[in-house]
Amino acid sequence: MSALAALDLARAATLHGEAFAPVGERGWTRQELAELLATPGVAGQLLQAGDRDVGFALHRVVADEAELLTIAVRPALRRRGAGRRLLDAVIAQVREAGARSLFLEVAVDNQAARRLYETTGFQIVGVRAGYYRRSDCGAADGLVMRLTLNDQLPPRRMVTT
Ligand SMILES: CC(C)(COP(=O)(O)OP(=O)(O)OC[C@H]1O[C@@H](n2cnc3c(N)ncnc32)[C@H](O)[C@@H]1OP(=O)(O)O)[C@@H](O)C(=O)NCCC(=O)NCCS
């Protein structure tokens, strides 16, 4: 796992296109990814196996809230733990940056992603009707999900006498 750098953006655009084309959603271009990565608070992770790109994720932290902007794993390399590794890396990074919540949006019919998020502890906190426009089959509702972070009380100090 490594931080997504400007030089990786063409590869990230390829991964994004491959991941989202099957569900009729347009992949983000290299230019769009470059503009996002240049936005304050945005960072990404690239997962590789040897010299093969496996997947990537992008997130944004603003004050104590974070958002998962995208996560994508190459179709032929799914169900081997890559998505969870990327999500865990995002969670560790935003927690480190001081975020108390991580939000995301997911299409209501995206069973794979929903299951990944639910098993990580995300909960549905809102619905956006018709949020995902599809090239082939109309629109799907978007679910807004939230994972609460950093909600434990600080550890109690041991007092010794
Ligand atoms: C969502 C996505 C990133 C998951 O990547 P992945 O590498 O396959 O995920 P993992 O192998 O780490 O799976 C983690 C868990 O997610 C769930 N999951 C993943 N794929 C699933 C599927 N096809 N059906 C049901 N559950 C699934 C399971 O709970 C799985 O744990 P398990 O394998 O122990 O049962 C991948 O499917 C993808 O790139 N999808 C297209 C892009 C996308 O939809 N991104 C999210 C937009 S909000």
Phi-psi domain of 24 (left: phi exceeds 0; alpha: psi -120 through 50; beta: other): left
User: Is 20 within the bounds of a domain?
Assistant: yes
Which residues, judged by CB distance below 6 Å to any ligand atom, belong to the binding site of ligand 1?
19-20, 71-73, 78-84, 106, 110-113, 115-116, 119
The residue-averaged pLDDT of 7-13 equals 90
Q: Which of 79, 91, 114, 132 to mutate to test the pocket of ligand 1 (most atoms within 8 A of CB)?
A: 79
Which tens digit of pLDDT belongs to each residue from 38-67?
Answer: 999 999 999 999 989 999 999 999 999 999
Q: Which atom of ligand 1 is nearest to the CA of 19?
A: 41
For residue 52, CA distances in Å to 7, 45, 56, 57, 86 come to 15, 14, 12, 16, 15
- Supply the mean pLDDT for the chain: 90
Domain that holds residue 71: 2-148
Residue 155 pLDDT class (50, 70, 90 cuts): low
Q: Where are the beta strands (DSSP E) in 50-138?
A: 52-62, 65-73, 101-107, 123-133
Nearest 10 degrees: Cα torsion 125, 107, 147, 1: -170
Is 34 part of a structural domain of the chain?
Answer: yes
Q: How confident is the model at residue 156 (pLDDT cuts 50, 70, 90)?
A: low
pLDDT tens-digit map of 54-112: 999 999 999 999 999 999 999 999 999 999 999 999 999 999 999 999 999 999 999 99
Kindly report the pTM of this predicted structure.
0.91
137 pLDDT band (50/70/90 cuts)?
Answer: low
Per the domain annotation, does 62 fall within a domain? yes
Q: Is residue 153 part of a domain?
A: no
Q: Give the CATH number for residue 47.
A: 3.40.630.30
Query: How many domains in the chain?
Result: 1
Decide if 155 is inside a domain.
no
Residue 24: the pLDDT is: 74
16 inside domain? yes
